[in-house]
Amino acid sequence: MKLLVTGGGGMLGRAVVERASRLGHDVHAATRAELDITDAGAAHRVLHEICPAAVVHCAAYTDVDGAETHWSLAEAVNGRGAGNVATAAQEVGARIVHVSTDYVFDGSKREPWVESDPVAPLGVYGETKLAGEQLVAAANPAHVIVRTAWLFGTGGRNFVDTMLALGAERDEVSVVTDQVGCPTWTGHLAGALVELAERPQETGIHHIAGAGQCSWNELALEIFERAGIECRVLPATSDQFVRPARRPAYSVLGSERRDPVVLPPWQRGLAEYLATRVAV
């Protein structure tokens, strides 16, 4: 299958390209320099040149705090940009697998969020990602929207790498206990995205993240234990780390689908990611 991956130079995009190539697909990775998704004409031109059977749309503005002061850029990329790609994909008869986020929810539940739950983003990042979902769905009937969470992997800024760096420098770190979610390794998520691109019958919203749940504090503890780093992890609350964007307190993703795509436990994703870091 001919597959176009937007954001092909990013953390998730690289993993998708690697996975799809390993499976024998004809993969075209479009970096930001090769495809400015905020330009509808550029999206039209690239999609018509490549004519893929499916698009995995990984390109995004992911700076959650930065989005609060750069609203127009976040909206141009996450909102209208996603719509541009979906529209161009529809023009060439391609389905689109669009990557969204747990941040479309307000975190007020205390049980996993399912696909039909009401959305209520707390910040600009979530608002613009939700706008992207809506524009993708309106532009291309052959769409899959994948909400995922707490990504970590090779080739991009992520919490795991941040903790490893801090653990090497400090004797202790303070990490919040009052934000709970689903850590997700890009290596696992990439396989699910390619699988959905291969299924022409699949449409609608899917929640796909590392199985299980934990707080950022618990994730930090697991990182140090598995990496063999002696660094104490102190409990903290979100109020102690005031940031421009509010985060949902509970953004664990579940699914109400009859046959959901299920990823391995987040602990396994962490172990596999750490193994790849050692190998490199």
71 Cβ neighbours under 8 A, 6+ residues apart: 124, 128
- Say if strands 214-215 and 180-181 run parallel, antiparallel, or are unpaired: antiparallel
The Cα 82–Cα 131 span in angstroms is 9
Angle between helices 124-139 and 82-91 (to 10 degrees): 10
Is residue 125 annotated as part of the catalytic site, yes or no? yes
Among 61, 103, 125, 250, the active-site one is 125
* Residue carrying structure tokens 């234990």: 225
The Cα 236–Cα 15 span in angstroms is 33
Nearest partner of 220 among 176, 156, 268, judged by Cα: 176
User: Other CB atoms closer than 10 Å to residue 205's CB: what's the count?
Assistant: 20
- 96, β-bridge pairs: 55, 143
Q: Which residues are catalytic?
A: 125
